[in-house]
């Protein structure tokens, strides 16, 4: 005999050939009818058998239950159906509310999907299925401006020095799984490091790879030369400032301050790279690669008054140059007191009768040459003593010892004390 009626237990007639099977927490209990246990009101389901172990005669299996019909997971954990919280233990999963295909418990969950659970008891499933919607959280993969990041060995770089956006990341030593690295872990040359973004308790499914390159000690060196250390007053010279990166890693944001004494008059500046601020006398370089050189040519004029020292100083750089002993260069000019007057009147009036060069006596090895407008040599004198009155001393078109006519002539002054010959023009007037 089978019970198909859904009447209350209190109405059942005593029949010694039947028992009431109650499933509680997966365990079955057989109670003689009409013996009623008060705990029945707490049971998961009630089934009637014509024999305690005859599962074919189960009348109805209730659907499973859950604490939350919308459940959230981290995609990084690769959750499966078995991770979904269900109060009951014997569950069959489906991809639809009715019919459909059973799903394996180890099937990976798909974001924004709904899964359907049926309870299985003694081979019989619940007709109704419990619907569970699933959301997978997956933060985006971190980014960086450079997948190869270079450091100097003197920086003692650590994992925390790696540049990445956003900053809420976890660093690993491998692309998958691996070991979590503390931010104070020292970086190693040639190694790869992998960053996962963390949002709440979830990590990004993909990791950013950064390769580290650590160079040896870096050093900036500055040098300075001048085209003429003994210019005449009013003469222009070129100061050449050279900055060299002698290290194995790049320097960025280099600032070089140029200090000029009052004896210098700024004329012009040309750089091989970077920019020169003529107002503040500052040379700025955005970067200087390893073993590279940058040059600044600074044209100045020797003024009549003032001192003549020029100092170039590397003020800042990134990373900071730890060897500061070669970060400055100074040069001092010694302007020549020579002044060449380009007009004289050898007419024996006692005024301006001689071609005069101030301070020529300080250069006893000097040599003066005078040429006419046709390029003919008309006068030549070693150790000149300001005693030329316009007479030719070289045989030629005029004749040695004859006075030169009024006109424009050209001179070359050679001295050992000057870096180069002084050339120019002069006007000889007889009247």
23 with 120: CB under 8 angstroms? no
Dump pLDDT digits (tens) for 408-421.
Answer: 999 999 987 666 78
Phi-psi region of 25 (alpha: psi -120 to 50; beta: other; left: phi over 0): left
Strand partners, 121: 124
- How many alpha carbons fall within 13 Å on the CB side of residue 387? 7
Residue 232: its pLDDT value, please?
82
116 with 107: CB under 8 angstroms? no
Dump pLDDT digits (tens) for 293-312.
Answer: 999 999 999 998 889 999 99
Instruction: Say whether 76 sits in a helix, a strand or coil.
Output: helix
* CB burial of residue 306 (10 Å; 0-12, 13-18, 19+): middle
The angle subtended at Cα 331 by Cα 325 and Cα 337, nearest 5°, is 165
φ, ψ (nearest 5 deg) of residue 119: -85, 140
CA-CA distance, 366 to 382, in Å (whole number)?
6
Dump pLDDT digits (tens) for 335-388.
Answer: 888 888 999 999 988 899 999 998 888 888 889 999 999 999 999 999 999 999
E strands within 200-292?
202-203, 208-215, 220-226, 236-245, 251-260, 264-271, 275-277, 282-288
pTM exceeds cut of 0.75: no
CA-CA distance, 314 to 297, in Å (whole number)?
16
CA-CA distance, 98 to 92, in Å (whole number)?
12
- Is residue 273's pLDDT more than 70? yes
Dump pLDDT digits (tens) for 53-70.
Answer: 444 444 689 999 999 999
Alpha carbon separation from 430 to 321, 343, 344, 348 (Å, rounded): 66, 11, 9, 9
Residue 416: its pLDDT value, please?
73
Q: What mean pLDDT value characterizes the chain? A: 86
* CB burial of residue 64 (10 Å; 0-12, 13-18, 19+): buried
Q: What is the dihedral angle through the alpha carbons of 142, 143, 146, 152, rounded to the nearest 10 degrees?
A: -40
> Which structural domains are found in the chain, ordered by start?
9-57 (no CATH), 70-137 (no CATH), 148-215 (no CATH), 220-332 (2.60.40.1510), 339-428 (2.60.40)
Direct distance between the N- and C-terminal alpha carbons of the chain, in angstroms, rounded to an integer: 157
Q: Report the relative pairing of strands 208-215 and 148-152 from DSSP bridges.
A: parallel
φ, ψ (nearest 5 deg) of residue 76: -60, -30
DSSP notation for 144-213: -S-SEEEEEGGG--BGGGS--BSS-EEEESSSSS--EE-TTPBP-TT-EEEEEEEETTEE-SS-EEEEEE
């Amino acid at each position: 005999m089978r019970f198909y009626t859904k009447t209350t237990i209190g109405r059942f007639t005593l029949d010694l050939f039947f028992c009431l099977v109650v499933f509680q927490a997966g365990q079955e209990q057989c109670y003689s009818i009409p013996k009623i246990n008060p705990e029945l009101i707490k049971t998961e389901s009630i089934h009637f058998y014509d024999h305690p172990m005859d599962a074919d005669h189960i009348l109805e299996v209730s659907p499973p239950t859950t604490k939350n019909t919308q459940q959230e997971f981290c995609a990084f954990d690769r959750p499966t159906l078995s991770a979904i919280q269900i109060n009951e233990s014997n569950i069959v999963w489906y991809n639809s509310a009715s019919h459909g295909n059973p799903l394996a418990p180890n099937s990976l969950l798909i974001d924004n999907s709904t899964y359907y659970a049926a309870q299985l008891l003694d081979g019989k499933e619940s007709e109704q299925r419990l619907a569970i919607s699933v959301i997978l959280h997956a933060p985006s993969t971190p980014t960086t401006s450079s997948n190869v990041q270079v450091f100097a060995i003197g920086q003692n770089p650590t994992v925390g020095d790696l540049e990445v956006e956003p900053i809420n990341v976890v660093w690993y030593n491998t692309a998958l799984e691996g070991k979590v690295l503390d931010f104070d872990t020292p970086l190693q040359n040639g190694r790869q490091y992998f960053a996962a973004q963390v949002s709440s308790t979830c990590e990004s499914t993909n990791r950013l790879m950064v390769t580290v390159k650590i160079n040896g000690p870096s050093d900036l060196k500055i040098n300075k030369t001048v085209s003429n250390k003994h210019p005449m007053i009013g003469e222009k010279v070129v100061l050449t400032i050279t900055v060299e990166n002698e290290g194995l890693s790049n320097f960025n944001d280099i600032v070089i301050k140029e200090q000029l004494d009052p004896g210098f008059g700024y004329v012009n500046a040309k750089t091989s790279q970077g920019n020169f601020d003529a107002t503040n006398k500052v040379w700025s370089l955005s970067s200087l690669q390893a073993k590279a050189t940058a040059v600044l040519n600074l044209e100045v004029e020797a003024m009549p008054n003032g001192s003549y020292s020029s100092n170039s100083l590397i003020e800042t750089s990134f990373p900071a140059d730890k060897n500061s002993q070669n970060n400055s260069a100074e040069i001092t000019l010694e302007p020549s007191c020579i002044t060449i007057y380009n007009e004289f009147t050898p007419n024996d009036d006692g005024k301006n009768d001689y071609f005069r060069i101030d301070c020529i006596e300080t250069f006893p090895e000097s040599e003066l040459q005078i040429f006419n407008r046709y390029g003919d040599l008309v006068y030549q004198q070693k150790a000149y003593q300001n005693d030329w009155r316009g007479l030719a001393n070289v045989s030629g078109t005029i004749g040695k010892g004859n006075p030169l006519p009024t006109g424009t002539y050209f001179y070359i002054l050679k001295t050992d004390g000057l870096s180069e010959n002084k050339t120019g023009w002069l006007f000889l007037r007889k009247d």
